[in-house]
């Protein structure tokens, strides 16, 4: 499966999104409690989802992997274990606060293979890489990762994405919205981050559905694309 | 001990791991970057912008870039020759 990048000029509806600076500042604010909230809000399930996502990349010893929107590094660390000391993992995020946490975790971790991770502060929509130099590699994209609009890397092997899911079932979406309003936001309020998590509901509405994501991946050059709904269709990985 | 291992991976006096420095490019011009030991930053000579390195992490968000003043840009051989001729 090749890696896609440019978003085609628009068979899909144009959606207004928060500015890059707003998103950057938002993730910077939630950085100190991001990991704890992930644990709490998913009841620890996010660890399983992330292992699934990484396993589907097919990353193996000696490979090079790129984790876009790596946040505090959960996926990068899992990739690091897969590719081993002879491999390389690059974790990229545009939040310096998240990267700082990732870097600290790396320094404190006893696992020597984590030495193969390099952190880069960057914008996934303006990547500081020449794609051709990263082949072959696997990409893992974390939360809130939009399809990126850059030059295609048609020879990368696999992309795996984990994110909230926009279901085609109205009832499922209703349950998801209820959980955000009545569980996620109240818990986040306790950390003083109500506004930062309130945006989730409107953000998810702007997502593409699983089928739309599959079609888009094929359209931009992937040979195969598959979207899986997980955790009651509130999340998806593809 | 892990931190010491990380430092050993970097070139002596360099702020970025060598293998990483070989694949990074300017996020705007997509041209190669040059490491400046003096300022501990990555320089995009193509567009005259420098990107800082903080805590060993290259900051390559376009907004992080700072335009390099003309006087701070490295002189080419031609410019240096011209300068020395003018001083004679």
Binned at pLDDT 50, 70 and 90, residue A99 comes out as very high
- pLDDT over 60 at A10, yes or no: no
> From CA A136, how far away is CA A117, in angstroms rounded?
17
Note whether A118 contacts B: Cβ–Cβ < 8 A. yes
CA atoms within 13 Å, Cβ hemisphere of A81: 12
Residues of A within 8 A of B24 (CB-CB) are 120, 128-129
The minimum CA-CA distance between B57 and chain A, rounded to whole Å, is 6
pLDDT value at residue B71? 58
Question: DSSP 3-state assignment of A186?
Answer: helix
- pLDDT over 80 at A14, yes or no: no
Mean pLDDT of A208-213: 84
Note whether A112 contacts B: Cβ–Cβ < 8 A. yes
Closest residue in chain A to residue B55, using alpha carbons only: A100
- pLDDT over 50 at A4, yes or no: no
- Pick A123's closest partner by Cβ from B5, B55, B61: B61
A107–B23 CB contact, under 8 Å = no
pLDDT value at residue A84? 92
Largest Cα separation within chain A, whole Å, is 48
Task: Specify the range with the lowest mean pLDDT, choosing from A3-17, A107-121, A187-201.
Answer: A3-17
> From CA A113, how far away is CA B44, in angstroms rounded?
32
Per-residue pLDDT of B31-76, as tens digits, reads 999 999 999 999 999 999 999 999 999 999 999 899 998 655 554 4
Cβ proximity of A65 and A138 under 8 Å: yes
Give the percent of chain A with pLDDT over 70: 77
- pLDDT over 70 at A105, yes or no: yes
> Hey, what are A17's tokens?
């999104």
ipTM of the complex: 0.70
pLDDT value at residue B88? 43
């Amino acid at each position: 499966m090749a890696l896609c990048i440019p978003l085609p000029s628009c068979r899909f509806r144009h959606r207004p999104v928060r500015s890059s600076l707003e998103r950057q500042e938002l993730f910077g604010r939630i950085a100190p409690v991001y990991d704890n909230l992930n644990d709490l809000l998913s009841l620890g399930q996010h660890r399983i989802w992330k292992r699934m996502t990484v396993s589907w990349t097919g990353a193996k010893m000696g490979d090079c992997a790129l984790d876009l929107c790596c946040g505090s590094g959960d996926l990068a660390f899992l990739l690091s274990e897969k590719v081993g000391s002879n491999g390389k993992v690059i974790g990229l995020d545009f939040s310096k606060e998240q990267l700082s946490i990732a870097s600290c975790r790396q320094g404190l971790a006893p696992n020597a293979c984590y030495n193969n991770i390099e952190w880069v502060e960057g914008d996934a929509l303006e990547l500081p890489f020449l794609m051709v130099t990263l082949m072959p590699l696997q990409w893992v994209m974390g939360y809130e990762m939009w399809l990126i609009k850059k030059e295609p890397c048609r020879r990368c092997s696999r992309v795996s994405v984990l994110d909230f899911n926009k279901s085609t079932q109205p009832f499922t979406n209703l349950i998801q919205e209820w959980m955000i309003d009545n569980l996620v936001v109240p818990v986040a309020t306790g950390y003083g981050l109500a506004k930062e998590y309130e945006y989730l509901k409107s953000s998810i509405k702007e997502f593409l559905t699983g089928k739309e994501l599959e079609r888009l991946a094929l359209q931009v050059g992937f040979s195969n694309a598959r979207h899986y709904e997980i955790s009651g269709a509130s999340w998806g990985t593809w | 001990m892990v931190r010491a291992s990380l430092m050993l991976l970097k070139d002596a006096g360099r702020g970025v791991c060598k293998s990483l420095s070989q694949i990074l490019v300017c996020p705007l011009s997509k041209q190669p970057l040059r490491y400046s030991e003096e300022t501990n930053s990555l320089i995009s000579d193509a567009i005259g912008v420098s990107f800082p390195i903080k805590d060993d992490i290259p900051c390559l968000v376009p907004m992080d870039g700072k335009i390099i003043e003309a006087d701070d840009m490295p002189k080419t051989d031609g410019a240096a020759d011209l300068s020395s001729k003018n001083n004679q």
